Structure 1
Amino acid sequence: MTYSLVVRDDDGTFGVITASKSLAVGASVPAAAADAGALVTQAHTNTAFADGGIAHLRAGHSAAETVERLISSDPGRSLRQLAVLDGKGDAAAWTGPDCTETAGHLLGTGYAAAGNCLDGTHVLTALRDTFLASAGTLPQRLIAALADGEKAGGDHRGRQSAALRIAGPADNGTLHNASRIDLRVDDHDDPVGELRRLLALHDALTATPTPAPPHHSG
């Protein structure tokens, strides 16, 4: 019971943002790897799709092939929703016929929006259009998109959790890294607002320090 946006930036960075009227959406829905791609597994979530999907992408399978491999082997596929971006930014998705209405997905080069239990398909349009029209860093654009998805109605049951995942090729393995973000709001009255606050803290933590001016004596 979730709505999400999966994107690939021009520099090869993948981003996923998601929100739900369910506890801890970030623990099970998003997955991303800079060397492979990104995805969301939602509705009646099959948690095995996260690791399995990244493994298929890493092995060189396209987004469409990855969706087909995961869905075809799942007896519960009619209840699943899956959206995948591969390393080239090609998108593919599955929305099972038994997903809670309103459910659907929107696909384009470099993005996939998917949701179920929505106030309407206009929620997905708001996600996509805001992201494509917005300026700023990739995480900022994703949060702006999520905020407008919520304004458009979001999950019609209400709001509870949200999450942001970024995986970029510039990740150098350090603990505090702007190219690797995994922020989760598990239970909050305003999860999108809280996610924005956490991103501001992360940005401050990972900002490049301004060099001190040279000291002159005498």
Structure 2
Amino acid sequence: MSLQVPRLDDDPDAPFPHPDASLRLPDGLVALGGDLSPARLLNAYRHGIFPWYSEGQPILWWSPDPRTVFRTDGIRLSSRFRRSLRASPWVARADTAFVHVVERCARAPRPGQRGTWITPAMQAAYARMHALGHAHSVEIFAGPEDDAALVGGIYGIALGRMFFGESMFSAVSGGSKVALAALGGWLHARGWPWIDAQLENPHLVSLGAVTMPRPAFQAILGTLVEAPEPPGAWTADFGVQPVRALAG
């Protein structure tokens, strides 16, 4: 692999190879090495590249083709599930339990996978990004009380008006779906059209994810990441949202 894939320079501001030069097998592998510094991560996401690797591997950087995305107004919850939300006491908040959401995502079982790509180094890196106002979480709590249990959540990176979803979890059935839908609705209301979901799987497709050729993804990305949206916590703007509003 090291003979075929470019190795990143030690300078975190050094440019990445263009995604179009990535491997076809494994699909979308752009580069290896480097670090998880905020400068490197922001540079990567700005160009549609994300880190994904397992413990013991070098850092691997990816830009798959096609790319899996959600329209923020296209997240699909079944009619039966929506009906179940009408009497739900759950509420959604943002950026009140970021580290906890990432930890729960790291521990969540993934069918067909051994271990997690959300290594301690990745958790620390995204915690730094959160402290800088670039990484965000939407959390679903069992009720509006301050001590209510966390039942689901999602986290990712925001640049301009593009949200790059990283992972989500459910502690109670449906928790992650509600977190995704709450995030999508809030972003759509603010003119953010897309959520990056990176790689296709049947669960994401069932929720409305679609695939987009990499050139098309790169084209929309170039405009959205440059939108004048400053980093910072979403907590106050997001507020406390009863999830029964998602029942439609």
For normalisation by structure 2, the TM-score amounts to 0.24
Q: By percentage of residues, which structure has more strand?
A: 1
